[in-house]
Amino acid sequence: MKRRDFLELLPAGAAAFRTPGLFAAASEDKIPRAHWIDNGLIDAGGSHEPYLFVVRRGGQRLDARKEYESHQSEKTIRAIKDAGAEVFHTHLYKGFGMAAEMPEMQDTVRAAAFAHSIGLKVDTYIQWNTMMYETFFAEEPRAKDWVQRDAAGRPIMLTYGFQQSYRYRPCFKNQDYLDYLKKIVRFAIQDARTDFIHFDNFDLNAEPDSCHCPWCVNGFRTHLKNKYTLEERKERFGFSNVDYVNPPEWNAQNPPAKMQIIFDPAIQEWIDFRCQLMADALRQMASYAKSLNREVVIEVNPHGITGGNRAWEAGLDHTRFLPLTQVFWTEEPNLPGVQQDGRVVSKIRSYKLARTFNNILLTYTDRDEVAIAECLAFNQTIGWAGIYPLTEAMRKYIAFYRANRRLFDGTRDLADVAVLRSYASITYNQPRCQLSAILAEQALIEAAVPFHIIFDQHLADLAKYRVVVLPDSECLSDPQLHSIRAFVERGGGLAAVGSCGLYDQWRRLRVTQGLAGLIDAQPAARAYEESVQRHIQEGQEQRKAVGHGRVFYLPALRFDGPLPEFGANFRVDNRFWKHPANARQFLDGLDWARNGEPSVHVEGPQHLIANAVEQPSRRTMVHLVNYNSREAPRKDVRLDCRNPRGSNVASVSLYSPDLPGPVKLEAAPTFRIPEVKTYMIAAVEWA
Ligand SMILES: [Zn+2]
């Protein structure tokens, strides 16, 4: 079905809520979910490197062969199980071609059989993004045409240590490569009998390293023709024949990493094309895997929300591929804790992204109790437990989790507030809109306010939120604006920051401000502009009742102190993750816009951060993490919990790995916790 036909089948307006590329996904069947991880995941390894790669990479220990064997030995696998893990992670395929890797793939078949025999599930590593050409071309000479090539025709490579030039990136628009990858997936499922496929390096290189192979150049033009009618192409480009449109090119005078605001329609569409081809390739692979075994879990390694412009830099729009996965990795370095200069660093954004799409996040936590506590609080399971031997901290938290698992099973995040991460706003104006989203999230995190992160498609149904935050959501489509307006009129709260709804989804300046009538004091925006203004004209704070709802407008979330210099591609890395100077003003306005008591309110010392979850009609759990636990326990925390269905409190209990057992408090909706060392769960049972 062509996209145009599909569009006409949708209810009016529903289509425009999605980023354009989502149509392919929306028009196909859903990928079935595996159920065996419904009650959480405790995954540990086993190295993911085959010996062949360790040797080819160089720099190994002289006993590397012995080490390789020990990672799949019965002793290691048994020890992983004894430490409380439930899934054994091991290597399967690294990118040398199946012929070269077969002996070690057979090692994995044997190790997996043993793991299964003692009751573990098996998680196998498959390299998504590597062709080690020296062996691969020997096995499959046609593979020379499967390589990603830059505009000059040179192979595009991975970047480890700047010296792995034997690792070409394959093109994901190339069906021959995808068909080859399916053979590996089949081996994983039918021979190794894997329960879980980890696809590593799920990303693309940043410009100028984008693929200009014939599959991509022709694919881009076809993508434009499928996406738009002749008339729409004319509206988009000024002409309708796109047969000569090329992917963007760069040179010394035009460095891509310096581009600030992305207004060129062809570059915008090229970003969309790259994001879509990654999602489409994964969809093919996931559908194929599920046709062999519906209970196989699909996992990818793309990073989470780290402050980068991932659509532009890496061809990744999480909203398109997380519906295909149940687990994903983030290898971001952001170890949680309070920094010397007072910044609170966390991976909370990435965990929230995972929860929005019903995924589990895997990340490195095992050497730090705050990190493991953050994971249990925001991920609701252990996820990645580490490599054998597991750390003492991890064993302590696994034991706590397994003893209290019923508190984590089937929970959903409980929050009144939703923060929008608008694709077009952030992708096309990263320095301003990403920073604003980061600061809004930071203010909520540090005030221990539970919140959801939502994306464009979620604007179609805002009924479950009481306040929606638009952090410089500049680019909103007509249906999105309509939905926000309807939400407020029906009684919702809006907290709008900076510039909101001033542009459409292609970042064309609206003649009438998109939220006119809701926000009266927004300064006018500019149309064509090449660089970000350092000093923007600010409007006035505004509080206004509209229909049954309330609108709070804050002209800007102010960075506290001098803004760090942006590096390449304007990454808003954790140097920017600072409590905004006017956070109080923002939070007060948010409170006012909510127009009523919150479902969960935490009042306590600084650096105590909260997440709330519920098992509907049974229990509400408030998870508290002391991000400054290296310094001192947090004392005297006050909690208020309201049941949305009006039930009474039957009991209140505290659980912590730092307590010998659960502690019962007096059953009341408001209660005090004397002390939180690192991690505490307050569980309120409803009558
Ligand atoms: Zn290509």
pLDDT attached to residue 533 = 64
Cα 35 to middle of ligand 1, angstroms: 35
Task: Collect all residues with Cβ–Cβ distance below 8 Å to 134 and sequence separation of at least 6.
Answer: 166
Q: How many CA atoms lie within 13 A of 186 on its CB side?
A: 8
- CB of 427 closer than 8 Å to CB of 262: yes
pLDDT attached to residue 22 = 37
For β-strands 344-345 and 337-338, DSSP reports them as antiparallel
pLDDT digits (tens, 9 = 90+) for 522-542: 988 888 887 766 556 677 999
Structure-token match 């009558």, residue found: 687
Cα 189 to middle of ligand 1, angstroms: 28
Q: DSSP string of 587-614?
A: HHHHHHHHTS--SEEEE--TTEEEEEEE
Q: Is the pLDDT of residue 438 over 70?
A: yes
Average pLDDT over residues 622-650: 89
pLDDT digits (tens, 9 = 90+) for 369-393: 999 999 999 999 999 999 999 999 9
Instruction: Write the burial class of residue 372 (CB in 10 Å: 0-12 exposed, 13-18 middle, 19+ buried).
Output: buried
326 three-class SS: coil
C-alpha triplet 302, 304, 309: angle, nearest 5°: 85
The phi and psi torsions of 600 (rounded to 5 degrees) equal: -135, 130
Cα 53 to middle of ligand 1, angstroms: 25
Number of C-beta neighbours around residue 118 at 10 A: 13
Cα 475 to middle of ligand 1, angstroms: 30
Rounded to the nearest 10 degrees, the angle between the axes of helix 265-292 and helix 175-186 is 30
Closest CA to 218 of 246, 241, 248: 246
Q: Is the pLDDT of residue 23 over 70?
A: no
pLDDT attached to residue 9 = 39
Arithmetic mean of pLDDT over the chain: 94
Cα 171 to middle of ligand 1, angstroms: 4
Q: What does the alpha-carbon distance between residue 56 and residue 59 come to, in Å, rounded to a whole number? A: 9
Cα 483 to middle of ligand 1, angstroms: 38
Structure-token match 């003492």, residue found: 392
Please give all residues whose CB falls under 5 A of ion ligand 1, grouped by chain where several chains appear.
171, 173, 211, 213, 215-216
Cα 507 to middle of ligand 1, angstroms: 27
DSSP, res 40 = -
C-alpha triplet 222, 227, 230: angle, nearest 5°: 85
The phi and psi torsions of 686 (rounded to 5 degrees) equal: -100, 140
Radius of gyration for the chain, computed over Cα atoms and rounded to the nearest angstrom: 25
Cα 200 to middle of ligand 1, angstroms: 19
Cα 172 to middle of ligand 1, angstroms: 7
pLDDT attached to residue 631 = 80
- Confidence label for 617 from pLDDT (cuts 50, 70 and 90): confident
Strands (E) in 472-541, as ranges, are: 493-497
* C-alpha torsion sign, points 517, 518, 524, 530: negative
Q: Is the pLDDT of residue 199 over 50?
A: yes
Number of C-beta neighbours around residue 637 at 10 A: 23
pLDDT digits (tens, 9 = 90+) for 398-436: 999 999 999 999 999 999 999 999 999 999 999 999 999
pLDDT digits (tens, 9 = 90+) for 256-301: 999 999 999 999 999 999 999 999 999 999 999 999 999 999 999 9
Q: What does the alpha-carbon distance between residue 623 and residue 621 come to, in Å, rounded to a whole number? A: 6
Closest CA to 169 of 108, 128, 117: 128
Cα 147 to middle of ligand 1, angstroms: 7
Task: Collect all residues with Cβ–Cβ distance below 8 Å to 209 and sequence separation of at least 6.
Answer: 148, 150, 156
The answer to pTM > 0.85 is: yes
Least confident of 49-63, 444-458, 473-487, 636-650: 636-650
Q: Is the pLDDT of residue 14 over 50?
A: no
pLDDT attached to residue 600 = 96
Q: How many CA atoms lie within 13 A of 454 on its CB side?
A: 27
196 pairs with which residues across the strands? 123, 297
Number of C-beta neighbours around residue 363 at 10 A: 25
pLDDT attached to residue 28 = 54
Cα 180 to middle of ligand 1, angstroms: 16
pLDDT attached to residue 6 = 37
Q: What does the alpha-carbon distance between residue 678 and residue 389 come to, in Å, rounded to a whole number? A: 23
Cα 256 to middle of ligand 1, angstroms: 19
Number of C-beta neighbours around residue 296 at 10 A: 22
Q: What does the alpha-carbon distance between residue 610 and residue 374 come to, in Å, rounded to a whole number? A: 9
